[in-house]
Structure 1
Amino acid sequence: MQREPGLPFIADTLAADTEPPQPHAGEGRLRVRSAWISDLHLGTPGCQAAALLDFLRALECETLYLVGDIIDGWQLRRQWFWPQSHNDVVQKLLRKARKGTRVVFVPGNHDEFARRYVDLNFGGVDVVADCLHVTADQRVLWITHGDHFDGVIQCAKWLAYVGDWAYELTLRINRHLNSLRARLGLPYWSLSRYLKLKVKRAVSYVSEFETAVAREARSRGAHGVVCGHIHHAEMRMIDGVLYANDGDWVESLTALVEHADGRLELVDWSQDAHAPSPAQALPLGAGVAA
């Protein structure tokens, strides 16, 4: 039976907490002030739930932002897919909220069903349309998923659905490819990420998206923006505004974190799940708009 995804339904399915309560090895080894993750796409075969759960077990922070596309309602409407590993991820998020972490959920286009619950709280998770975050060094960051700056989503949603289908097909091919690479002793490689960085139109789309989001952050008086949506982790200055995209947990396995001094850093969990290596960092005071 096909079920309509929604926050009350998810809460009901998680009534029985199945994750063992005892501490896991490496629990809390990544201690930061704040963290941002997006584009988990729970409810799809492409979600890297095992790596994500490992990251969440390692993470200890005051505030955790879920920057959209956490649950993939588009995919769940087409075909129901919800293994126990995806339950475990949501349960871990809810447990963090219960233990004192402030968890803020900014819905995206794939979990747009949650936008009807803006300004409500579910299981200790605040649902907001967007929000502002003030770093330890007093920079103001605007937090948004970013789909409102995607012309395809706004002007031709049917085309977005077609693109989503093509993306899922690419990921399916990628899973078979990496299964073969694993048997040959080769490391993980993302076909979709490769195409995104090599196809000229895709590169142009990413650049235009980044510029549009940074421009909006400036108009709101923010020093920078944190977003997701395009599955491309990046942190750079655009016309004096800090643009930070926390990536995804389908292709890149990345997150954005803020250290105690306000320094922002992209963490690439795909490099070594047991000893995360920084993918990119901006020092204290960087990213302040003129």
Structure 2
Amino acid sequence: MKTYYKTIILSDIHLGIRNSRVKEAVDFLSHHKCDTLILNGDIIDGWQLRKSGEWKKKHTSFFRIIMKYMHKYNTKVIYLRGNHDDFLDEILPFSFGQFIIKRHHILQSADKKYYVVHGDIFDTVTTKLKWLAKLGDIGYTFLLWLNRHYNHYRTKRGLPYYSLSQVVKAKVKSAVSFISDYEEQLCEVAAANHCDGVICGHIHQAADKTINNIHYLNSGDWVETMSALVETENGEWNIVYYNEWLQQQTPAETTYTTVQNTATYFPSLTPELL
């Protein structure tokens, strides 16, 4: 039986990079249904596909389930442009039936309004210094690769997991300051647009908090945290982590095997890596 939500929001799937957890994203969507599905940026990683990426069957399967949502459940699908799928700039705004592509969206949730945006426009590295952002993206991909192989070595020797990304984050004090400033700027924009909250992605760090009387929500990503935002019929918002959800399912209900909780292993890194 599929779980119903009024709204489901996913972001930062990064289709095209090796570390994209697209199979898990498809599995999650296949067990749920909703009235509105918001894909909040960086769904397709155009940067990687331009370089050396390859479009695979699993990427097509993601969009097949999106089409199933529209056809079977009459779901409205809103795709918001991110920095890694900036190729969408050439067709914005775009609308075809239940499918809409645009930069931002105002979402009515119960008696509140939310400003929904990917969030890269408030990151000066990705907007003004794209060459530096892409250089950081290479570093991020390398760190994921190094972390995977290093911990494979440790596992073979019976050693516990060791997160290289935590070490990196601990040594870069500006990371915490950046995230705090980023969140505050988004909340200021929400207030300026007469909204009660803001919903974003971009920094790969799921969150549900209140900042200066503005409800701040971040959907996380499907590279590290594997998380989604869901809205119930009464306007209540929750963060759903794929691995926690998977553990609650019976074997007959699951279609994908359990994977390691990368939210623990890959905490959000510096803005230059996003």
**Is 1:93 aligned to residue 66 of structure 2?**
yes
- Mapped contact 1:45–1:81 kept (Cα < 8 A): no
Q: Figure out how many residues of one structure are paired with residues of the other and give that number.
A: 249
TM-score (norm 2): 0.83
Matches of 2:159 and 2:234, distance apart in 1: 38
Matches of 2:237 and 2:142, distance apart in 1: 34
- Mapped contact 1:94–1:124 kept (Cα < 8 A): no
Match of 2:107 among 127, 133, 152: 133
Q: What SS class does the counterpart of residue 273 from structure 1 fall into?
A: helix
Q: CA separation of 1:205/1:184 partners in 2, compared to 1, >3 Å: closer, same or farther?
A: same
Q: What SS class does the counterpart of residue 229 from structure 1 fall into?
A: coil
Deviates more, 1:91-100 or 1:217-226: 91-100
* Deviation of 1:145 (Å): 0.5
**Is 1:258 aligned to residue 231 of structure 2?**
yes
Q: CA separation of 1:234/1:47 partners in 2, compared to 1, >3 Å: closer, same or farther?
A: same
Equivalent residues in 2 for 1:85-164 (5 A)?
A: 85-99=58-72, 100-121=74-95, 124-135=98-109, 137-164=110-137
Q: Structure 2, unaligned stretches of length 5 or more?
A: 250-262, 264-274
- Mapped contact 1:133–1:142 kept (Cα < 8 A): yes
- Mapped contact 2:75–2:98 kept (Cα < 8 A): no
- Bigger relative CO (Cα 8 Å, ≥ 6 apart): 2
- Mapped contact 1:44–1:82 kept (Cα < 8 A): no
Equivalent residues in 2 for 1:131-280 (5 A)?
A: 131-135=105-109, 137-180=110-153, 191-192=164-165, 195-196=168-169, 199-275=172-248
The residue type paired with residue 244 of structure 1 is L
Match of 2:31 among 58, 70, 82: 58
Q: CA separation of 1:121/1:163 partners in 2, compared to 1, >3 Å: closer, same or farther?
A: same
Question: Structure 1 segments of 4 or more deviating over 3 A?
Answer: 177-199
For each residue in 1:158-200, what CA deviation from the matched residue of structure 2 results, as whole angstroms up to 9, or x when unmatched?
1111111101111111232454566678998864467447732
- Mapped contact 1:54–1:273 kept (Cα < 8 A): no
- Mapped contact 1:37–1:248 kept (Cα < 8 A): yes
TM-score (norm 1): 0.79
Matches of 1:41 and 1:188, distance apart in 2: 25
* Deviation of 1:114 (Å): 1.2
Q: What SS class does the counterpart of residue 243 from structure 2 fall into?
A: coil
Task: Give the aligned partner of residue 271 of structure 2.
Answer: none
The residue type paired with residue 101 of structure 1 is T
For each residue in 1:178-233, what CA deviation from the matched residue of structure 2 results, as whole angstroms up to 9, or x when unmatched?
54566678998864467447732111111111111111111110000000011011
